[in-house]
Amino acid sequence: MDTYSENGLQSLSLHNLAFTVSDVEKAIQWYGDTLGFQVLSRETFTALGGAEIAFLQKSDIRLEMLWVQNGFLINEMFADAPAHLLPIGNKTLVLQVNDLHDATLELEAKGVTFAWKEMNLMDDGMPSTMIRDMDGNFINIFQRDV
């Protein structure tokens, strides 16, 4: 039987989600203008021949945007849904809102690229709106359970 100490794995929580971007400035702009994230901190370091990092936050969600020299895109990871599910690896940032319809209308007004709008992912419901960020990464937004 596994045991966990109160201050060990029992205290596990999410620190941040990290992903590589093509341009930190564009990422800061897009995530700020589109979703309301604010810059917490920025750093530059020499790993991988030079890297820039920006930590963004909104509410209790913290994102780490990382740019490295010679970064490259793996096309299969950015296939249209549902083919994006085929490559093994991280798929999408999943968020939730109080009212999916209102959020979808706000995103439409911002001119974002949609994969789908208010689509039920299960036969009995589970509506979501999925968009792409400035690099084509998926962001799936669900309505918070009320």
Q: Given this model, what pLDDT does residue 123 score?
A: 80
Q: Given this model, what pLDDT does residue 119 score?
A: 92
Q: Given this model, what pLDDT does residue 118 score?
A: 95
Give the model confidence (pLDDT) of 44-83 as tens digits. 987 667 789 999 999 999 999 999 988 888 888 888 888 8
CATH superfamily of 1-71: 2,3-Dihydroxybiphenyl 1,2-Dioxygenase, domain 1 (3.10.180.10)
Residues of the chain with pLDDT under 50: none
DSSP string, the chain: -----TTTGGG-----EEEE-S-HHHHHHHHHHHH--EEEEEEEE-GGG-EEEEEEEETTEEEEEEEETT----GGGGPSTTGGGSSSS--EEEEEES-HHHHHHHHHHHTPEEEEEEEEEETTEEEEEEEE-TTS-EEEEEEPP-
Shortest CA distance to 118 belongs to which of 133, 98, 132, 101? Answer: 101
List, by residue range, all CATH 3.10.180.10 domains of the chain: 1-71
Q: Given this model, what pLDDT does residue 1 score?
A: 58
Long-range contacts: 80-86, Cβ < 8 Å, 24+? 80/115, 81/115, 81/116, 81/130, 81/138, 84/138
Q: Given this model, what pLDDT does residue 108 score?
A: 96
- What phi and psi, each to the nearest 5 degrees, are found at residue 113? -90, 125
**N-term to C-term CA, the chain:** 36
Q: Given this model, what pLDDT does residue 78 score?
A: 86
- 47-59 core/surface letters (b: 16 or more CB in 10 A; e: else): eeeebbbbbbeee
CB 146 within 8 A of CB 98: yes
Query: Which pTM was predicted?
Result: 0.87
Q: Could you say which of 2.60.120.280, 3.40.50.970, 3.20.20.60, 3.30.720.110 is the CATH number of the domain covering 79-146?
A: 3.30.720.110
